[in-house]
Amino acid sequence: MLTLYHWEPNANSGKPMLALAEKGVEYQSHYLDLLNFDQHKPDYLRINPDGTIPALVHGDRILTESTPMMEYIDETFEGPPLRPADPKERWRMRWWMRFFDSYFAPSLSMIGWSVFVGPAVRSRDRAELEAAIERIPLESRRVAWRKAMFNQFSEAELAESRRRAAFGTAALERHLAAHPWIAGDTFSLGDINGFNLGYALPLSQPDRCNDERTPHIMEWLRKIYERPATQATWAKGRTQMASRVTMLKRKS
């Protein structure tokens, strides 16, 4: 039995969802509504005491952290390989995944939390929100949620996130001008990682990511969007967030 606990098919949840779809692996989908704080309720905390999503349950194994989870999926299940056979390409894939996870993602996440997550819950009762924060197991997540809910990101924090987002977008465009995929010539987990992080760049960073300034990023995003696995994965979305991916449809 394989069960994936996830939210919308983007960012962290989208990585194992898309990896499983590319491998052709069937799994039981268990949707957690992040904006309803399902990930901090007792039923899920018995699965993952840290209260983070996604979580993959495979037999008696419980796996967390979306990037190594993708590698586990690729190693464990039959289907098309999602890591390059060439050592140099595999190194490049891992280099970019580290860059995405440790540099690019936190900045885009802060921007996203300030403009989407916070406003989505801010209208609720203050006492209800405070109680929800107190149920969050990890202190770092309590801090992040508090800042998002109550609009407490400083201008300096947001400015640094915007600077990093600009740097990351420019670096990705330069790379994709020289290589069709993140690893080089091979579609890989690096593309899955990057797509789930950056598919909405044309919407969230329209002045920095568009057909004129970043044509190679746009073509890369569209190629991944058009893959059957991506179409099937994004069909599992339940909120407006998932529908943003349709911006990548080619104009006829």
Mean pLDDT for 208-229 is 97
Nearest-angstrom CA–CA distance, 75 and 80? 11
pLDDT at 70: 98
| Paired strand residues for 62 | 57
Question: Average pLDDT of 192-200?
Answer: 94
Question: What gap in Å lies between CA 207 and CA 225, rounded to an integer?
Answer: 21
pLDDT value, residue 65: 96
Q: How far is CA 173 from CA 126, 178, 180, 218, in A?
A: 42, 9, 11, 9
pLDDT digits 0-9 by tens, 179-188: 999 999 999 9
Predicted TM-score of the model (pTM)? 0.92
Q: How far apart are CA 56 and CA 85, in angstroms?
A: 26
Please state, in angstroms and rounded to a whole number, the distance separating the CA atoms of residues 242 and 173. Answer: 24
Tokens at 14, concatenated: 């989208």
Q: What structural domains and CATH numbers belong to the chain? A: 2-76 (3.40.30.10), 88-248 (1.20.1050.10)
pLDDT at position 153 is 84
Top-confidence range, 112-121, 127-136, 172-181: 172-181
Q: Which residue has the higher pLDDT, 153 or 115?
A: 153
Q: With bands split at pLDDT 50, 70 and 90, how would you rate the model's confidence at 116?
A: low
CA distances 130 to 95, 99, 126, 241, Å, are 39, 33, 6, 25
Average pLDDT over residues 237-248: 88
Q: Is the pLDDT of residue 232 over 90?
A: yes
pLDDT at 243: 84
1-14 pLDDT, tens digit per residue, is: 899 999 999 889 99
Give the mean model confidence (pLDDT) for residues 214-242: 95
